[in-house]
Amino acid sequence: MNKRDVVLLIFILLLAGLALFIDLNIDHPTWFENLLFWRPEKARDIEIRYGLDLRGGLKVLLAADLPPGQEVDPVAMETARRIVEDRVNSLGLTEAVVQAQGDRRIIVELPGIEDPELAVETIRGTALLEFIDTGGAFLPPGTVVTTTLGPPRIGGAVAPTATFTVTPGASLTTTLPLTATTAPTGTSAMTQTSPVTATSGSPVYRTILTGAGLEQVGLNRTQTNQYEIPFQLKPDAAKVFAEFTAAHAPPPGQRGYYPLCIVLDKRVLSCPVIESAIPDGRGTIRLGDATYEEARNLAIQLHYGALPVPLRVETISTVGPTLGEISVQRSIRAGIIGLSVVLLFMLVYYRLPGSLADVALIIYALLNLAIYKLAPVTMTLPGIAGFLLSAGMAVDANILVFERMKEELRVGRSLRTAIEAGFERAWTSIRDSQISTLIVCAVLYFFGTNFGASMVKGFAITLAIGTVINIFTAVVATRTFIRTVFHLAGEWIRSRRWLLGV
């Protein structure tokens, strides 16, 4: 047994131990969950996620919210569908379905939704971000305004513009200040006292920039556990932004007094004052006491842009998890029975090599489950079928190897030579079959992604993951186990050929 086999054996055992730790239904340490840097902070729980057919969820029908008789641009509807799909995927909802129905509607299936209202608002919100010039007036957060890009729309009708009153000398505090990234950021709010006269009616405010000028949008949490959205403007927008902030920045040594209001879907988020010119187009929107879900959803809407077509919710149907729970229980029961029969068959028919293959198959199952939790992969009934099929293919690879070994032993080869020849001769068949399976999975995934067949997509994902892991466990793990056992008890095995199933 050479040094390479020893290293492989240690690696396999450590990997199996790690997979078992991940698979355990326990509260994993926070530091371990934080290693999942590719997932949002609040979505790093290590757990199995179930699809709409197993866990339940929402099915939402969205329709273009346009005046009667106005035709819908097919290109705009397709763009809206893709933006909705991007927003849904950013919510961490794998196996979500977003597909067009006719020329005016979009169907969205959301598995495992915890806050339906917030999720629906995230996917349908127009997310039109505007930086407006109010002429020096402060607008309280929540004020609905009319801008040069048009009036607000609620349910397809023009919404009334809210009136507001600001008394002279009032102290107004904004909760979403806009600051240059190089400016001090020690406070989460800015207070400005300014003698502003009372304002009423429905003035039209000039839009300086829109969210179309955003190039990058992020989401951070401050040391005070408040969320903020750093952004970077595109070069052209950054130039306009720099000119406006420079023209309204206070003289050196004085505090800012001119507000630059941030408006989302015609509703004021905040009116931070301009403390200095911002030449690089970088800024930060602080979200005050907003929750993580609210902050994330706003960042998603800003990142993926405004919908080119306003959407309204036509119907919302709730899919109950009762049928899913029964399906999960039966699928688990069937999987346990099937794998038990396979393990028993390998042990009885192939004996010692079969028992080692059983160990590799158990490691195979542990690795699959660990990846399902870490990725995460949303489990559906077709996904479970893909896993069970890949498990059968894992056994098939071991059978190919063992049959080649038995052929070598029958023609008088030594045990060591038979082991090596068995793996070498079986490798080409295993390789070709696994590559063919991966090609089929790619085709299924493509059709599932582009034609809304999420069930086909789930089947392809689990089958592909199982196929890749199968190559490792059937070839590397089983081979290392057999070499280890031969090194420790080779002479004893030679005199007991019945242990090899010959």
Q: Among positive and negative, which fits the CA dihedral 478, 481, 486, 487? A: positive
Question: Are 140 and 229 part of one and the same domain?
Answer: yes
Strand partners, 61: 107, 315
Question: Are 239 and 373 part of one and the same domain?
Answer: no
Question: Are 116 and 177 part of one and the same domain?
Answer: no
The pLDDT of residue 464 is 95
Which residue, 368, 380, 367, 390, is CA-closest to 457? 380
Instruction: Tally helices (H) and strands (E) across the chain.
Output: 12, 20
Question: Are 356 and 494 part of one and the same domain?
Answer: yes
Q: Which of 125-129, 182-186, 460-464 has the highest mean pLDDT?
A: 460-464
Question: Are 171 and 257 part of one and the same domain?
Answer: yes
Q: What is the pLDDT of residues 44-91, one digit of tens each?
A: 788 887 777 777 778 888 888 888 778 888 878 887 887 787 777 766
Question: How far apart are the C-alpha atoms of 377 and 370, rounded to whole Å?
Answer: 10
Q: Establish if 48 belongs to a structural domain.
A: no
Q: Provide the residue range defining the domain that includes 363.
A: 3-42+320-500
The pLDDT of residue 257 is 75
Residue 294 has pLDDT above 80, yes or no: no
Question: How far apart are the C-alpha atoms of 80 and 124, rounded to whole Å?
Answer: 9
User: Are 388 and 335 in contact, with CB atoms under 8 Å apart?
Assistant: yes
Question: Are 351 and 495 part of one and the same domain?
Answer: yes
Q: Establish if 47 belongs to a structural domain.
A: no
Q: Which amino acid is at 486?
A: F
Question: How far apart are the C-alpha atoms of 186 and 180, rounded to whole Å?
Answer: 13
Residue 100: both structure tokens together: 């067009």
Question: Are 263 and 136 part of one and the same domain?
Answer: yes
For residues 254 and 482, the model is more confident at 482
Question: Are 17 and 90 part of one and the same domain?
Answer: no
Q: What is the pLDDT of residues 269-290, one digit of tens each?
A: 778 788 788 888 887 777 777 7
Cβ neighbours for 211, distance < 8 A, ≥ 6 positions apart: 127, 128, 129, 130, 302, 305, 306
CATH number of the domain encompassing residue 202:
3.30.1360
Would you place residue 258 in the very low, low, confident or very high pLDDT band (cuts 50, 70, 90)?
confident
Question: Are 460 and 355 part of one and the same domain?
Answer: yes
Residue 94 has pLDDT above 80, yes or no: no
The pLDDT of residue 95 is 58
Residue 150: both structure tokens together: 């048009």
- Distance set, CA 487 to CA 404, 415, 484 (Å): 20, 11, 5
Question: How far apart are the C-alpha atoms of 407 and 422, rounded to whole Å?
Answer: 8
CATH number of the domain encompassing residue 431:
1.20.1640.10
Q: What is the pLDDT of residues 370-420, one digit of tens each?
A: 999 998 887 888 888 899 888 888 888 888 888 888 888 888 888 888 888
Q: Establish if 295 belongs to a structural domain.
A: no
